[in-house]
A = this chain, B = another copy of it.
Amino acid sequence: MQREPQSFDRVLSSMCSEPHPLAREAAERFLATNPGDPGTYPTVTALEEEALATLGEIAGLENPSGYIASGGTEANVQAVRIARNRAETRTPNVVMPESAHFSFQKAAGVLGVDLRIVPTDERFRADLEAVRASVDADTALVVGVAGSTEYGRVDPIPALGEIARDAGAMLHVDAAWGGFVLPFSGDEWHFGHAAVDTMAIDPHKMGQAAVPAGGLLARSDDLLDELAVDTPYLESTSQATLTGTRSGAGVASAVAAMDELWPDGYREQYRRSQENAEWLAAELEQRDYDVVEPTLPLVAAEISGSTFEALREEGWRISRTARDELRVVCMPHVTREMLASFLEDLDRLERGASVPVASDG
């Protein structure tokens, strides 16, 4: 019996979305290619160069170094790996805010570095004093988040860059989710705004490319060289990626999405998503829920655990913050109609009613 993938019509939890039609078409065409083997698959290797150039343009970096990774986790692990390999200490540490993604825990365990987690301020951004107090001569990397997973917050990247530079450490910016909305939000987040060394920026999140299309950017080739291993039996001579065989579908899909949408299509999507987030936040506040202001298209609000579970029973794909708040990510597939229908279910469940109410109710 043939299984079908879930539809996206009740998915509010994912940081991935439905790929743009052109991105899907490109992914399907390049399904049988492997950019990990450039000698055999030259076309997709050329496409990866195009993808990298556009990512650099988006992130304020001329002549970017980097590659299309499996996702933000690989990009974050690789950034920690670069910093660890360059550090002159045998006991390197990484300083990051508690708002950073759990993939840094994975990176620390895999790479054997000490993770120093500092608190965030009342606006859920890295507490600069705490970061200053945590860096020392063994600090290899300072991590800044540009669009945090829980609240969509952007850390003060320029200030983090100064702290890192003063400590002789590198600065990595995790813009895996935020990278395709931040060009339009007025935030300071990229290589052009601060002393950023590496960045995670994922076409397969807000970039509307198909999975797997993450992005690792590095300020210069010598940083990427820290990752290179020799590659016998391939016509290429070295490989800097964490994986070996890679998906050409993701690469081709990223190029197709960015060619079509950068910059106007992404600007328009940012506007739609941000307006949806602000509308949902206002509706929830009207209902007296505690809401975390959506500075990017991501809404968090306090609802009871029982209501959360009941909404999941209704088929809504929702997730929680560490403080058990409801978390709704306003991805491209999330429409105003979806959010209205979600609110209807929420209202009905909170009233304990067993029948749906009319949409004007």
Contact = CB atoms under 8 A, between A and B. Distances in A.
A198 interface: no
Contacts of A103: 244
A5 B43 contact: yes
B235 A13 contact: yes
A183 to B, nearest CB: 22
A17 to B, nearest CB: 8
B246 A211 contact: yes
A32 interface: yes
Contacts of A210: 31-32, 249
A46 B3 CA distance: 9
Nearest to A71: B245
A28 interface: yes
A27 interface: yes
A335 interface: no
A327 interface: yes
B37 A31 contact: no
A102 interface: yes
A16 interface: yes
B110 A211 contact: no
Given A31-B210, A40-B11, A112 B112 contact: yes
Contact of A233 (B44, B212, B319): B319
Nearest to A226: B109
B70 A243 contact: yes
B319 A235 contact: yes
- Most interface-central of A211, A239, A245 (chain B CB within 10 A): A245
A249 B321 CA distance: 28
A245 B16 contact: yes
B105 A211 contact: no
- Most interface-central of A4, A39, A229 (chain B CB within 10 A): A229
Contacts of A6: 33, 40-43
A16 B70 CA distance: 18
Contacts of A106: 229, 239, 242, 244
B31 A244 contact: no
A81 B320 CA distance: 30
Contact of A71 (B29, B230, B244): B244
Interface string A76-116: 01000100000000000000000001110110011110000
A74 interface: yes
A214 interface: yes
A27 B37 contact: no
B321 A233 contact: yes
Contacts of A242: 73-74, 77, 106, 110, 242
A197 interface: no
Given A6-B33, A28-B31, A149 B321 contact: no
Nearest to A33: B5
Contacts of A231: 102
Contacts of A321: 232-233
Interface string A45-68: 011000000000000000000000
